[in-house]
Structure formats: C-alpha cells, structure tokens
Structure 1
Amino acid sequence: MTQESSHTMNATTAPTTGRPLLEVTDLEVSFHTQNGIVNAVRGVSFSLNAGESLAIVGESGSGKSTSATAIIDLLPGTGKVTGGSIRLDGTELVGISRAEMEAIRGSQIGYVPQDPMSNLNPVWNIGFQVMETLLANGIAKSRKEAEAKAIQVLQDAGLPDAGKRLRQYPHQFSGGMRQRALIGIGLSSQPKLLIADEPTSALDVTVQRVILDHLNTLTRELGTSVIFITHDLGLAAERAEKLVVMYRGQVVESGPSREILANPLHPYTQRLVAAAPSLASRRMQAVKSHENVAIAAPTAALDLTLIERAEQREEAATAASPIISLRDVTKQYKIRTGGFKTELFTAVDKVSFDVHPGTTTAIVGESGSGKSTIAKMVLKLEDVTAGNVLVDGTDVTAIRSAKDVLAFRRRVQPVFQDPYGTLDPLYNIAQTIAEPLVVHGVGTAKERTARVRELLDQVSLPVSTMSRYPNELSGGQRQRIAVARALALKPDVLVLDEAVSALDVLVQGQILNLLTELQSEMGLSYLFITHDLAVVRLVADSVCVMKSGQIVESATTDEVFDSPREQYTKDLLAAIPGAGIELGA
C-alpha cells in the first residue's frame, strides 16, 4: 500500500450534519487482460458531503476516471469492482442489479464525459438526445413535454436560441456548445451528485472558464455535489473544496484543496504542483515581482531555473537581428457558399512580428484566431496570399525550386500537437529520427546511427528506445521523439504548434523544461503556438496575442502578464485556471 499523506479536512469544507452524501471505502477495481488481472484501483477511500465539490487529480493511468466510473457502474471493457463499498445517501451501490443502477444513474447521479464529440451521437440531433434522457429518467411523460423541457435544459445550460438548437446536430455545434449540451443533459434530472470527467480539457481557456462558471452556478442553485476529474491542479484548487490525489491506483494525499496546494506533503503531489503550468505561471509572476510567497524547495528550484534561462536568452538576444520576420502577412481562403459561388475568408490579416535568435516568441489566442495558419506559412506548408516571411533575411515566399525548399527545411523544423499522428507506426524509433537525415542525404548509415544515439541522449531517452515502435511508447516519450527528429538536421528554428497541449501536466512540465534546456545549450529559436497563456509564461520571451486573424497585442512576456493593454488579453489571463489563487505568505 502506498503511503498516504493526509491533511486535516476542516478549513474549506462545507459544514454537514449526519452522514456524507457519498462514501467510497476501500474501493478495488480490476481488469481482465490477456496478460492476467490488472488491479487498476487499490483501496481508494473518500467521502463527499451534500452541496460539496471534490476534485480527483492525477496523471493518465492513475485510476481517477476508473474510480469515478465505478461509482455509476460504467467501467469500460472487462472492468469490475472487486472489493470495497460505494454508498450514496446510505444506499450501497456495489452489487445492486442493473435495473436498480439504471434507476439511480441519471436521476440521482449525473455524468458529464470528457469528449463531447464522441459522447453525442452524430446521427441524432441534439434535441432528440436531450429528450431521450428526460424520458428515460421519467422527467417527462410524453414527447411533447420532453421537447418543452429539453428547450429549458439547453437554456439552463447557457445555449442561446435553444428552440432552434434542438434541430441541430453535434457537428453543427462548437466544442463549447457541445460541452454545454452534455452538462445540460447531466443536470437535467437535478441529480444529487454530478461526476464531471475532464469536462473542459479540450476547450480554450476562455471557453473553459465560461463553462465552469456556468456549471458552478447550476450546481449551486440545485444543491448538487460535484466530483471533478482533472489533471490540472490549478483548476482543481480553484473549483473544488476537497482534493484527492491519485497515483498508480491509490490515494496518496487528500484534504482541503488550498491546504494541499500551499503545503503538498507527498512527493508525487509536490511534483504535480511543481509541474502545473497554471500554478508555475502564478509563482513565477510572484517571484519576478518580489512578492512574499511560500514555495516548496523542488518547485522553487525549477521556477528559478526557468527564470534564469529566460534572463540569459534576453541578454544574448538584445543586439541580434531577427532570425524570423513577418511583414504584413495575409492569408485568405476561398470558401464555397453553394453551387459554384465562393467567398474569401481572411484567416490571417496583415500580421507582422519578429523572432530573435535564441529566443522564444509565442503566438496565443483562441481556436480560429489564425495562429496555426501562421505556423504553416512560416514552415512553407501554406502559401502566403500577401506580405513577406523572412528567415535570416531570405524571403521564404519567393522560394520556388525544390532544392531551395529542401535547404530551407533544414533550417526550420516543426513539432506538431499530436505526437502519435506525426510518427509513422511502421517505422521504429531509429528509422523515425534518422528519416530527415536520409531525405537530405546527410552522413553514412553508421554516422546516422551515431547521430540518432546522440539525439536520444539529448532528449533524455535510453538507447534501447531505438528498436521500439511509436505504439510502444507513452505520449510524453513520443513527443520527445518528435523533438529529437526535429533536431536531427541541427536547425536554427523550431516551430512548435500546440506541442504540449495533448500531454498530462507532469509530462508537459518535463517537455517544457527539456525545450528550454535544449534552447540554452544549442541557441535554438522557437516559434511557440498555443492557446494556453500559462504555458507561455514558462517558456516565452515575447508574446503576440491574436484575435480573428490579427495581432491585437505584442510585447515581452513580462509586459503582457504584468500590464496587459487589451481587454481580450486581460480576459485570457483571467481565464488561466488558478490565476486568482493566492499562493500564501
């Protein structure tokens, strides 16, 4: 049994009388696999009072989602509760019949799953799916009544024109709208308990804040208790009164959120606090402005290292000419409007900025702001409609011959968001990393193998990784391989397009630390595309804030964080999970 660090649960928890609403005691969950039985959850215990909120945090595979889905008997595959007790309002849920669980599920326990697109049926309109829930839970007795209540559910979920929205399909909703619909469905029966599994992980920070604020309002009005499943400690501490930290299927620390945040006792929790970008961003801001804050030693060491690297980059870049310059760059697409008619859509509108050697320039903004389109134009994966992209004085837009394009690609390399989608599953890791060397005719086979070994060492992976395939590696390991491949040709510039957004917070922290370390050692320049301003604080020297294809604010990272000029930038900063948390004196 893993040693558990426990805080006294008093300061921030809601006062209660009688028994808790939910009691999970010594929960055990196992899965039958080809290699035998896997114990995914081992001896997990926690409780939740009526009207209270609790967050379960941990990295992928820690057992947090498995623990939550066990409560409502929705374990995937061969998963089965093999021990322990789950009591809801005094009623034992382990071992009850399927019919009894179906009567409780939805009506007493609501559920908001992680991915709204795969959890809404694409062939049914939104109204039908809400109405089916209302009819199944007995909230409506007829289809006419169900339709009226479905409109009310979508209105309560914050969707405008709910009557019209009933007829629309999931693909016609934005990510935020789909998530609102799922929250509406989860709360439609006014349950006693709502389980929200990473309810906003795929959303921009501003949309995330709107969704979570609305969820908080609805649950407060209904008196519903909430369990949040998340890997973001900043979000957990901001949104939940209690915190349960899970690691390898066990609870290693639990107690009031703010107390755990201020004083994490277990080494794993300390690592989570140190790695969470939203919290690290707040700490670094405090350190730079000389605020008196109490920060754990391992956390402080990493923060100070990142700050020191940023100061070194700033000193080195002051006198250097830009390595990348965009001048009035515009990108337009032709959009079909029906028949043979088209209209022009401006994705990027007269954008100008510079990237100095050895520094990181971040481009931030919500989805659809045009930031990834800029990355593609810098990489010459998209043609520029108007304006110029200069790399070390050479106008990329004027490059035409295949030879010149190949020479350009040696100097500017990409690292994309999805490390699995960008790695060929039929190539082993040695072949993957060596591929750019082969394409550009660099070195002999022996020299390329030596270069692959050198690159694996640079990204802190063992040489034994060479013979493995992408599906045998974790997400973090795959992203390290993507970085190693990008470095194979010794480029001057890396274009990182949401390169850490798909990773767990701990892995994200490791990759960000690796990137800044490699930058210090090799003098690399980064163009960093992201929607997460918290990540920007950790790695960027300057920031361009984009909205609707235009740069609305451009300044050093310190200036953007300390004194943002535009309201849009202020909204982005305010939306960072944990931005309002006081770190304590």
Structure 2
Amino acid sequence: MSEGLNFSKNDAAEEETPLLQVRDLEVTFKTVGGDVQAVRGVSFELYQGENLAIVGESGSGKSTTATAILDLLAANGRVSGGSALFDGKDLTKLSRKEMEHIRGREIGYVPQDPMSNLNPVWNIGFQVRETIEANSELRGRAAKARTVEVLKEAGLPDPAGRLRQYPNQFSGGMRQRVLIGIGMSARPKLLVADEPTSALDVTVQRRILDHIGTLTSEYGTSVMFITHDLGLAAERAERLVVMYKGQVVEYGSSQEILANPQHPYTQRLVAAAPSLASRRIQNDVAGKSSPTESAEVKQVSLDKLAKPHVVKGEPLIKVQNVTKVYEISQGGFKKTKFKAVDDVSFEIRKGSTMAIVGESGSGKSTIAKLFLKLEDITSGTMTFDGEDVGSLPKNKLLAFRRRVQPVFQDPYGTLDPMASIGSSIAEPLLTHKIGTPKSRRKTVAELLDQVSLPAATAARYPNELSGGQRQRIAIARALALKPDVLVLDEAVSALDVLVQAQVLNLLSDLQAELDLTYLFITHDLGVVRMVADDVTVMRQGEVVEAATVDEVFENPKEQYTRDLLEAIPGANFEFGKSA
C-alpha cells in the first residue's frame, strides 16, 4: 500500500474472521492504447454487522473495486492480481455459475444509475418480483406479497399501487429506492451500495439508511458504501477507505480520519465537503475565506461563494398558480388523476439563483420540465422575459431553447451512447448553426477544460466514463450556447466533493460574468446554502415555504423545513476539527 496510510482497527473485531477480506486487489482494463491498471494493490477488511465506506473522486477506482469483487466488470476488465475472500471463498476465483448463486442471495448490490439498471419496458412490480423469485423459494401470492413489502421497506408511498407503474413514471429518487429494495430483498450477508442515496432527498435518505441500519443490527448484514458523501461516511460507517488514482491512501476509523485527515488528498476532500463549506459561508460575514482553507485546496476553494451575492435584477421568470395533473393508467381503460404540481407560484430575479428543494415526488423536477416546455401546463402561467412559455409558437421555440438550457439528474439518459463525447457537446452548436467545424472543436476543448476533463475525453464514449464524469459532460454541453438561464436538476448530485466544488465555482464565475440566472433543483441543502439566493420548499406538489436562503436556514417557519435541515447526514459532525 501507499506510504502514509492511517490504520485503525476495532480491537474486538481483531479476534473475528472478516466477512470480506480484500488483499492487494488489482484491476486492469484492455484499451486500444494498451492495458490500463485502474485499481492497484487495494486492501481492506469488513466484519459481520459492520459498515464500511469507500470514498474518492470520480475515476479513483472505488466503483471499479466494488464491481471487481462482484464479478461485474466490463468485458474489457479483469482482476489481474490479489484476492477477495468472502465468507472463506475467493470471489475472484469462482466460476460464473458459482458467482451468480452468491450474488443476490448472499451479496446484494445497489448500482448507482437507476435508469440504466431498470428495464423501461417492464413494470416495477415485475422487476422486483423477478429478483425475489430468482433469489428465494417464494412464488405466486407469497412472491407478490414480498414484492409489496420490499417496496414499502424501501420507503415508496402506496407500494401496492406502484406495482403496475413503469420506471419512466417514477422520479429519479423513487427509481433509486426501487434498486435499494431489490438489493435488500433477499436479506443478504453483505450489501454493496454504490452511491445508494445520491438521488434521494435527505429525509428519504435517512429512512433508507435507518432501514439499512436495521438490517445490520437484526440480521448481521454488513454494508459497503461506495459514496462521495462524507457526511454519510461519518454518520453511518465504522471504517473508511479513501481512494485516489486507484490506490488506498488512508484506511481506518471513519470518524478519526474525517476529523483528523493525514493524507493531503483526504484533507482536500474534507475541506471541500458541502456541510463544512456551508458553515464557513454562514459564519463568514467579512467575505473572506475560511481560516481552515489553505493553498493546498485553492483549486477547489469555495472562497468566492462565501461572498454575498448582490441581486439587483427584475424578475426574469414568473411562475403563477401553476398546476400539473397526470393521468395514470390503472390497467385496462381505468385511469386515475395525479396532481404533481398544485397551485405553485414564485419569481426568479435576473442574475439570481432560485433553489427548489423537497422530497422525491414533491414536484420539483416537474416544475423544471414545465418551464423547459417538455411537459404541458394543466393550468396557470409561466413567463420568461415577459413571454408566456406555455403558448410559445413553434417559430420561437428554437430561440427559447438557446436561451434556456437544462442539465438533468440522469447524465447517462441524456447522452447518446453511440455518439462521442465531443459530438454530444458540439450538438447544440450544430443544431443552432453556430461556428465552423474547427471553431466547434476548439469550443469543445475549452468546455472540457472548464469542467476539469482532459481534451482527449472528446474522443471517448459515455459508457467509458464514470457517473460523475458523465454529469460534467452534461454541464459542459449546457454551457455551449452561453444561455441566459440554466435549469439544473440535481446537476451536482453525482459528483464527488472536489469536482462538485469546482463545478459550483464555475457556475458562480459564469453567473457573475454573464449575468446568468439559475433554477436549481436539488435535495442537497449544503449546496443550496452555498449557491442560492432564494429557496422554495415543496412537498407533495405544494409550496410549503419560500423566502431567502438566509431566512429559511436560520429561521425555518415550517416543521417540514426543520425536518429537512435536521436530516442532513453528518450535519453535526466536525470535519477536520483537528486538521
């Protein structure tokens, strides 16, 4: 292992045999340019009933380590060294049939991209039931009853009524909950959860994590979290593995490491953590950088975000009494009406950032779709720069879409898997007939640099990138047309904290330089505290509370808002207190 590793073991656990023992694991991918070693000499242990978190930036090897253990590597990847002993068996040496028997029954898996891992042509009930029948002896009514129970355990409202619905009828967070339910359905010995709560709001996140905690205590289930959420790691994991460029740089007690990080990379992670950053902003009335910041983290410094954002603009966007009603099929010709947005009103001033927060299914993403004219408004009005968005004629739609650009929460679903990254980023320029092929290539390189990706990424394809890297591509593409408004739907939820800080700095720079207006849909209240001027809190399609960010965070008037603030993972943990 690398020098400077910080090891800390639970003395009681030393007498036990680890449930999972990874030793000197190496993973190699075959590429056109030769072999690439993505994981190098990774070692750690996980005991029965224990939680372990693996953290690191996108591309650090944390998800590759998990998929290697589960024998789910891409076709060009292989375990090229080391071992992974699970309950006495070396997973890297098992046959495909032996591994398929263990996977699902003894090791549950929650992948990080819900839309890519749920079949769009099968209803949710069928997909959950199929997994239950594959990993248990349950059939018929018993399997159906267990299917409803799994969805209920995962925190889905009206689980029985959701069985006939399809993935596209679920919000991103609800789809993620389905995957969590599938992963936990067989009550496995080990649950590998790759960014299991990245798409969830904090209250649902807490319920899911509490349920995983129940499994740990009642059934002795061990959990391996792959996450970029340091708050989750501090609050829910006994042990922490910090990975950087395919190697472990720090390993031991999660709270000890996050309170007193030793490796420079871990120190940078802790300094960029949103919860820590939000406290620095809150306590920094002089507009100077936090005393805890150093030259080491200058490249991801949130200093400029600590300065008060002066908003002088008139309302650019007005939402007045907007309602959206969907008709949901109940089988056959029977349909029921569902009110996703109920009489919502707010205004966004030019040059400001409005954040909309709330639980999954609260209607916040539906508001974004309505404004982007991806869905039709049932009643009410939305105006942009004095024009009614709902009644825009076709000849004005292209100009509207040039001025208003989206960044959705599911980057893989918005990128053409058959198109190169360079082509995807250049597509808006081509559609709007901007520039020459040469100038467009130059613009693509500049945009990749802005989102901290090398120019060579232009020749790669979406399936070759991590989830965080794909999200950065989506942001780069949205910036290509230099729009007036960005609609950011969970735009930084898939990013590790270092890249998240870089992207938020970038968004702040662009807003200051170009007078951009942002509609920011998010469940991450730490991000809201850092970047938004105003916030609208939604629940079940209605506005619960709306005010400036300072008013909502410092003096929330509604109990629901207070619940959201109290549910932030690791909210009370002092990151880097000894650093």
Which bin holds the TM-score, normalised by the shorter protein? Answer: 0.7 to 0.9
Which amino acid in structure 1 is aligned with residue 352 of structure 2?
Answer: T
Label 1:91 to 1:561 Cα distance change in 2 as closer, same or farther (>3 A). same
Which amino acid in structure 1 is aligned with residue 359 of structure 2?
Answer: E
Does the aligned pair in 2 maintain the 1:243–1:255 contact within 8 Å? yes
Give the count of matched residue pairs.
557
Residue 371 of structure 2 is matched in structure 1 by 378
Percent of residue pairs identical: 52
Q: Is structure 2 residue 186 aligned with structure 1 residue 181? A: no
**Tell me, what secondary structure is at the counterpart of 2:302?**
helix
Q: By how many angstroms is 1:108 displaced?
A: 5.5
Residue 352 of structure 1 is matched in structure 2 by 345
Write out aligned runs for 1:53-202 (5 A).
Answer: 53-88=51-86, 95=93, 109-114=107-112, 122=122, 124=126, 126-127=128-129, 129-135=131-137, 154=150, 157=153, 174-175=174-175, 178-188=178-188, 191=189, 193-202=190-199
Residue 519 of structure 2 is matched in structure 1 by 527
| Counterpart-to-counterpart distance in 2, 1:461 and 1:196 | 27
Label 1:511 to 1:167 Cα distance change in 2 as closer, same or farther (>3 A). closer
Label 1:34 to 1:557 Cα distance change in 2 as closer, same or farther (>3 A). same
Residue 434 of structure 1 is matched in structure 2 by 429
Label 1:170 to 1:16 Cα distance change in 2 as closer, same or farther (>3 A). farther
Q: By how many angstroms is 1:485 displaced?
A: 1.9
Q: By how many angstroms is 1:519 displaced?
A: 0.9
Label 1:50 to 1:282 Cα distance change in 2 as closer, same or farther (>3 A). farther
Does the aligned pair in 2 maintain the 1:383–1:397 contact within 8 Å? no
Q: Is structure 2 residue 305 aligned with structure 1 residue 322? A: no
Residue 557 of structure 2 is matched in structure 1 by 565
| Counterpart-to-counterpart distance in 1, 2:511 and 2:106 | 53
Q: By how many angstroms is 1:214 displaced?
A: 0.6
Does the aligned pair in 1 maintain the 2:198–2:494 contact within 8 Å? no
Residue 304 of structure 1 is matched in structure 2 by 303
Does the aligned pair in 2 maintain the 1:272–1:505 contact within 8 Å? yes
Q: By how many angstroms is 1:39 displaced?
A: 2.2
Taking structure 2 as the reference length, what is the TM-score of the superposition? 0.79
| Counterpart-to-counterpart distance in 2, 1:280 and 1:252 | 23
| Counterpart-to-counterpart distance in 2, 1:446 and 1:89 | 57
| Counterpart-to-counterpart distance in 1, 2:444 and 2:286 | 42
Label 1:273 to 1:465 Cα distance change in 2 as closer, same or farther (>3 A). same
Q: Is structure 2 residue 367 aligned with structure 1 residue 368? A: no
Q: By how many angstroms is 1:571 displaced?
A: 2.6
Label 1:78 to 1:345 Cα distance change in 2 as closer, same or farther (>3 A). closer
Does the aligned pair in 2 maintain the 1:370–1:546 contact within 8 Å? yes
| Counterpart-to-counterpart distance in 2, 1:367 and 1:464 | 36
| Counterpart-to-counterpart distance in 2, 1:434 and 1:164 | 46
Residue 475 of structure 1 is matched in structure 2 by 470
Q: Deviations over 1:112-131 (max 9, x none)?
A: 44456766785856445324
Q: By how many angstroms is 1:255 displaced?
A: 1.9
Does the aligned pair in 2 maintain the 1:375–1:495 contact within 8 Å? yes
Residue 543 of structure 1 is matched in structure 2 by 535
Q: Deviations over 1:36-70 (max 9, x none)?
A: 43322211111233432211112333222332344
| Counterpart-to-counterpart distance in 2, 1:48 and 1:284 | 37
**Tell me, what secondary structure is at the counterpart of 1:134?**
coil
Label 1:72 to 1:447 Cα distance change in 2 as closer, same or farther (>3 A). closer
Label 1:462 to 1:535 Cα distance change in 2 as closer, same or farther (>3 A). closer
Which amino acid in structure 1 is aligned with residue 302 of structure 2?
Answer: D
Does the aligned pair in 1 maintain the 2:164–2:330 contact within 8 Å? no
Write out aligned runs for 1:118-517 (5 A).
Answer: 122=122, 124=126, 126-127=128-129, 129-135=131-137, 154=150, 157=153, 174-175=174-175, 178-188=178-188, 191=189, 193-285=190-282, 287=284, 295-297=292-294, 298=296, 302-308=301-307, 311=308, 313-314=309-310, 316-317=311-312, 320-334=313-327, 344-392=337-385, 394-397=386-389, 400-402=392-394, 404-405=396-397, 408-409=400-401, 411-418=403-410, 422=414, 425=419, 428=423, 431-432=426-427, 434-435=429-430, 437-438=432-433, 452=443, 456=447, 459=450, 474-487=469-482, 491-517=483-509
Label 1:111 to 1:5 Cα distance change in 2 as closer, same or farther (>3 A). same
Does the aligned pair in 2 maintain the 1:350–1:550 contact within 8 Å? yes
Which amino acid in structure 2 is aligned with residue 38 of structure 1?
Answer: V
Taking structure 1 as the reference length, what is the TM-score of the superposition? 0.79
| Counterpart-to-counterpart distance in 2, 1:383 and 1:165 | 25
Does the aligned pair in 2 maintain the 1:486–1:494 contact within 8 Å? no
| Counterpart-to-counterpart distance in 1, 2:436 and 2:374 | 29
**Tell me, what secondary structure is at the counterpart of 1:483?**
helix
From 13, 27, 36, give the equivalent of 1:29: 27
Label 1:354 to 1:109 Cα distance change in 2 as closer, same or farther (>3 A). closer
Structure 1 segments unaligned to the other structure (5+ residues): none
Q: By how many angstroms is 1:337 displaced?
A: 6.2
Q: By how many angstroms is 1:498 displaced?
A: 2.9
Label 1:262 to 1:476 Cα distance change in 2 as closer, same or farther (>3 A). same
Label 1:433 to 1:274 Cα distance change in 2 as closer, same or farther (>3 A). farther
Q: By how many angstroms is 1:285 displaced?
A: 4.0
Structure 2 segments unaligned to the other structure (5+ residues): none
Which amino acid in structure 1 is aligned with residue 178 of structure 2?
Answer: R
